[in-house]
A and B are shown apart, each in its own frame.
Chain A
């Protein structure tokens, strides 16, 4: 097991301290960290430390990082994060060490996660259904196609998260 380390922490002048227990979401697309916090409903009533790095330099350009003490993520939260940060890695930290490191998995379908942009879609009515989207990648971009009305969302997905 590796000690929790992220590039920027080995540099002189530590910007964010390592966490003892919790989750580090790394390799978030630059600029999406605040949307990740929104997905996780943070800070809300949450009392532990949450650290956010925006536009941190990395091997592949810029990235965002979110570190959350004493919190693990639910599957639905991971599905949502994968839509706006498909390259993110989820690091589970125990006693300052990386217990598990996984890349987010882009699901084939998402249910009840995104609201259809088409105001005349049946999923935006009072019917007893949840929104459903097929998820696919095109030109390295995540696209969502509504199962009901087939409208495609390819831009600003974070704006449509439920």
Chain B
């Protein structure tokens, strides 16, 4: 399978075979991510990192991934310190940066920014989040975590929290449709998964159940994928508190959960997972954040031709 020079823009561009290939490559590279092995397959290559929005995990895991493979990282730094502050367009920035680097990682505030950037770049553009649009590398690392810590084929998974606006859960749902997943959607009425997405999933033959009670779902599933409920979605702070508390994961709530239940969260979390859960064998979110490294190593190696 040849990924060389491919832009990574949306999960919709990936077939199941492509996803499987990336996840297998990540697994091969994991010993390098934990420094059990060394690698210089991207020695001499440069990755440009352009972040127009704050990020901790995504930016740092891309940078770590590149360094672990022997490559160099070129960071634009803050928007205020770049030519963007002088009014330069993203298109011009991309035209310039593509001549400095072998691949570009881009996070931008506008939906469609990465796709536009790909039209102006002859080196691969990797979308690290475009507004409320796509964040394909997050989805790939979510899938990788499920594969490594649970099972992908036929997984029974609950997605909980903000299912209306959360781009990670939307992409994850579509990706899970390749694996015959059984999905339970847990959210308050105000934050339900958009109807079009449920319709699409059912058309793909997936079993989708909706509920507003985490208690019902938690004992049935292999994986619980939590997302943050944002305060600003609720005009009434009391209503926010009620909803956020009703979905909070505590050790008590996990008493009757399956032994092998794994809890994932794209992070940052606020209070949707009690910190006491961190010490249970169910907590998988910090490992998930680590898995961003081998998955991004795989993508960088594949699109820059370090691996085939």
Contacts and interface: CB of A to CB of B under 8 A. Distances in A.
Interface of A: 118, 120-123, 125-129, 146-151
A127 B109 contact: no
A120 B116 contact: no
A121 B115 contact: no
B208 interface: no
Contacts, number: 49
Contact of A129 (B108, B111, B119, B130): B119
Given A120-B110, A120-B131, A121-B110, A127 B91 contact: yes
Given A120-B110, A122-B112, 13 more contacts: A120-B111, A120-B132, A122-B110, A122-B115, A129-B116, A146-B112, A148-B111, A148-B112, A149-B110, A149-B111, A149-B133, A150-B10, A151-B111
Contacts of A121: 110-112
Interface string B103-121: 0000011111101100100
A118 to B, nearest CB: 6
B89 interface: yes
Interface in B119-176: 119, 130-133
A147 B115 CA distance: 8
Contacts of A125: 110
A148 B89 CA distance: 16
Interface on chain A toward B: helix, strand, loop, or mixed SS? loop
A120 B133 CA distance: 10
Task: Identify which of A121, A123, A126, A146 gathers the most chain B CB atoms within 10 Å of its CB.
Answer: A121
Contacts of B111: 118, 120-122, 148-151
Nearest to B108: A122
Contacts of B90: 122, 127
Interface residues of B, number: 17
Interface of B: 10, 89-91, 108-113, 115-116, 119, 130-133
Contacts of B10: 150
A126 B91 CA distance: 10
Nearest to A125: B110
B133 A127 contact: no
A150 B113 CA distance: 12
Given A127-B91, A128-B89, A120 B109 contact: yes
Contact of A150 (B108, B109, B133): B133
A114 B10 CA distance: 23
B14 to A, nearest CB: 15
Nearest to A148: B112
A111 to B, nearest CB: 12
Contacts of B112: 121-123, 146-150
Contact of B116 (A126, A148, A150, A151): A148
A76 to B, nearest CB: 21
23 contacts: A120-B110, A120-B131, A120-B132, A122-B90, A122-B108, A122-B111, A122-B112, A122-B113, A122-B115, A122-B116, A123-B112, A123-B116, A127-B89, A127-B90, A127-B91, A127-B116, A129-B91, A147-B115, A149-B110, A149-B111, A150-B10, A150-B111, A150-B112
A120 B167 CA distance: 15
A121 B133 CA distance: 9
Contacts of B91: 127-129
A150 B111 CA distance: 9
Contacts of B115: 122, 147-148
B90 to A, nearest CB: 6
B112 to A, nearest CB: 3
